[in-house]
Structure 1
Amino acid sequence: MKKTISGIRGIFGEDLNLKDVLEFCNNFSSLIKSKKCVIGKDTRPSGQMVKDVASASLMKNGIDIFNLETVPTPVVFREARNYGAGLVISSSHNPLEWNGIKFIIEGRGINEHELPKIIEHQEILKTKIGIETDLSSSYIDDAKKIIGNVENNPEIVIDIGGGAAKGFAPELLKKIGCNVLSINENLSECTRGPDPTSDNLADLIQATTKKEIGFAFDLDGDRLVVVRNGKKQSADVTLGLGVAKSLELGYKKFVLSIDTSVSVEKFIKEKGGTVQRSKVGEANVIDLMLQNNAQAGGEGSSGGFILPEFNYCREGILTSGLIASMLGTTEFNEILNYMESYYQIRDKTKIDSEFHDKVIDEIKSEFSKEYSEIISLDGIKGIIDENSWVLIRKSNTEDIIRVSAESNNEEKCKKIVKDTIKLVNQSYEKIR
């Protein structure tokens, strides 16, 4: 089981059980000052069971529940702004046998100071039982107000991935003026995995042959991957397009995760904007945004664009509309042309969690000998030159160490990743 600011995640029935759900939600009750909580789930088979138990645990402690049923994660975040707290029953991009809980306070994910209060037992004073009310969301109408109308009725294909974006992403895009074809709508018939950043998206590539663009979502609808001209784009491109739209709207202050493409940062600075870098992880990006009143940004590795005025989370559905509104514009082509000369590779190697810190310390020593600049904000990032870098960090969600790299030379990028994974595995063998 993983217990991080990204939420609680585990294989349901093995290392995440209903008893755990009761305990964590009991503890979460102590953080809910409004005594109100919005709850929703994705399409995982265990979702209804976990949601019912989570709701019961909160209501036992006097929390009123506002039930959204099956909705994308951004919808829960949006409504949690109005009610004070939220729960998302989801394990995001993890395999179907996993499930988990994302905790929301005042419209944002929990931070590192709040996490211990959820994973360590809290005694809650007995109070009256909370009530449960069904809730419908104004999310689509609210998103349309941000995006506006799209001209020329672009032809768009959406790969739902069997997830909760069904009924939200298609409806939003239709409402702003797009012609929409949906594929992989139902989980039982879906031909791809839960994570569009790692899947080859063969069906979507085929379906977009004569369409303007394709969008692929993960199970809870916060991740977005773009397919354009028969090619799956890197996850960073999603963020880059969102950034380009933000710049067009006049925004200048951005926060990017440390593993986001350097091309996005360079593009922002060339347009007169400023960039601060955060640790990897949606909650870390948002925490720095709030500290510095940033206007936009996100996490390139997850295809996650964040627009704080609308939502304190990765916004796959809103972003699909924002990108659709840019089709055919100078800004759309400019950012794609700018980013296409950079190559990002994100890989991983299985390392037992108990050795993560020791491996990273070992690598830090090696990086210090080889690279002129070392950044220890999150894991270890080695700056190779102005266009190339490599980052190793322990995963927040899996028993792996992630290796990310970028360069303006594809072969160079491949070699950086290959050599770094070899170094990580050697270090692991050395210390265990």
Structure 2
Amino acid sequence: MKQRLFGTDGLRGQGNIFPMTPEIALRLGLAAGQYFRNGSGRHRVVIGKDTRLSGYVFETALTSGLCANGMDVFLVGPMPTPAISFLTRNMRADLGVVISASHNPFMDNGIKFFNHDGFKLADEVEDEISKLVLAEDPQWKYPEPERIGRAHRIEDARGRYIVYLKNSFSPRLTLDGVKIVLDCANGAAYGVAPYVFEELGAKVIKVGMKPDGLNINEKCGSLYPEVISNIVQDENADIGIALDGDADRLIVCDENGRILDGDQIMALCAQELMEEGRLPKNMLVATVMSNMALELFMKSRGGSLLRTKVGDRYVVEAMRREGAVLGGEQSGHLIFMEHSTTGDGLLAALQLLRIMREKERPLSELAGLLEPFPQVLSNVHVERKVPFEQAPEVQAAVSKVEKALAGKGRVLLRYSGTEAVCRVMVEGPDADVVECYTADIVEACEKYLR
């Protein structure tokens, strides 16, 4: 067994294959219960999931472990990841748990935690829990029989989250007359998202609303934004909104079908906050994956872009440290710290719609702020994650490309924290040249990292 279970966004893998097995989930429930149970009072944990078939397995195993180690469990069923963050805070729970593999296909699943403040756990806390889970003979400190936890179902969890989201939208505004194409990726938001927009007055054309346990993220959602783009144009809609399987990320398209990624959405929102004097230090926080154009955009307006490691948890950590209120990832994780403690696709969509309504302008006119540099991202499947410094041939390929770019582009090489892949990203002024540079580095990775 590897000694660290958690990646950049919790535990993740294919169902019934280590580490995503019922035994590990049971141990994880026992370990988390033991770690977070402190004092003599009752302890509460909120568990939500997306729509994957294996969610039933892990929900039951986690509940058993948590109850056995003295935690009262509140089950909310399929709900977006940010909803669990909100409910954990709102219910004054000790812990929140999400069973989801986000944008991955149905055969994968994952488990991630939020602390009582709604923030993802720090690495050191995850490491302590990992030690308990992976111990050959864990000494579980079971509570007395009368202190065993109970499990409950919360029937009105969706309504609570819907009200919370609507409260993040200006009470002076409505969405009357706005036509939205909404793709829920057959995922966790299908029972929540349409109601949020409809109750604010919008007409919603729904896509990806029939989960069957096997079709989450299948040719729909934020990984397939061309779906909403085509429908927006066919229906003459005002905006297309695409979520991923657990609804913590957002990709949109304007009324002409032009697709906007997280960087472009952040540019629009950052400018609005700067104009309103509500962006502390005029600082935006993003990861190393964000396009160079976003950095230049912020500098041109007297602001700055602070980069972090990949993962919205690292963006949030930097935002808390710097007092920033806006951050996110190119992939569509967007954090509005005034409203939430984690990426929330629905909340981000509402902030974008607020700007459109206040400005009384279509998204196409508002979003032309950022023209991204050509950027190519390729994945190389690897059997093991060899440190790059131990692969001189790969380093040589990277150095050659960096020298050719001469400071007018970027190369980024990193291993995924959730998948067995090496990610190769090259950015530069010429799309064809960037494609060639990427192919050269990918070839070196395929030869020397497998």
TM-score by length of 2: 0.84
Change (3 A) 1:53 1:191: closer
Aligned residues: 417
The answer to whether 1:326 aligns with 2:355 is: yes
Distance 1:99 1:403 in 2: 24
Partner of 2:335: 306
Distance 1:310 1:327 in 2: 19
Preserved contact between residue 25 and residue 118 of structure 1 (Cα < 8 Å):
no
Q: CA deviation at 1:24?
A: 1.6
Distance 2:73 2:262 in 1: 35
Distance 1:194 1:29 in 2: 37
Q: 1:76 aligns with which of 63, 80, 84?
A: 84
Partner of 1:378: none
Q: CA deviation at 1:88?
A: 0.2
Q: CA deviation at 1:12?
A: 0.9
Partner of 1:204: 228
Q: 1:126 aligns with which of 101, 122, 142?
A: 142
The answer to whether 1:100 aligns with 2:75 is: no
Change (3 A) 1:192 1:5: closer
Gaps of 5+ in 2: 133-137
Gaps of 5+ in 1: 373-381
**1:232-275, Cα deviation, whole Å (9 max, x unpaired):** 33443344444345445521332111111222233333333332
Letter in 2 for 1:19: E
Q: CA deviation at 1:314?
A: 1.4
Q: 1:185 aligns with which of 209, 212, 221?
A: 209
Q: Which stretch has the larger CA shift, 153-162 or 244-253?
A: 244-253
Distance 1:67 1:271 in 2: 46
Distance 1:344 1:335 in 2: 23
What is the 5 A alignment of 1:31-110?
31-32=35-36, 35-81=43-89, 82-105=92-115, 106-110=117-121
Partner of 1:293: 323
Change (3 A) 1:383 1:4: farther
Preserved contact between residue 105 and residue 217 of structure 2 (Cα < 8 Å):
no
The answer to whether 1:10 aligns with 2:13 is: yes
Change (3 A) 1:116 1:341: closer
The SS at the match of 2:205 is: strand
Q: CA deviation at 1:190?
A: 5.3
Q: CA deviation at 1:420?
A: 2.4
**1:123-173, Cα deviation, whole Å (9 max, x unpaired):** 442211112233334222222222222455311100111111112221212
Partner of 1:19: 23
Distance 1:191 1:108 in 2: 25
Partner of 1:243: 270
Misfit runs of 4+, over 4 Å: 189-192, 330-335, 356-362
The SS at the match of 2:290 is: coil
Q: CA deviation at 1:367?
A: 3.6
Partner of 1:376: none
What is the 5 A alignment of 1:354-365?
354-357=385-388, 363-364=394-395
Greater share of strand residues, 1 or 2?
1
Distance 1:239 1:412 in 2: 27
Which structure: larger Rg? 2
Q: Which stretch has the larger CA shift, 255-264 or 266-275?
A: 266-275
Preserved contact between residue 262 and residue 334 of structure 2 (Cα < 8 Å):
no
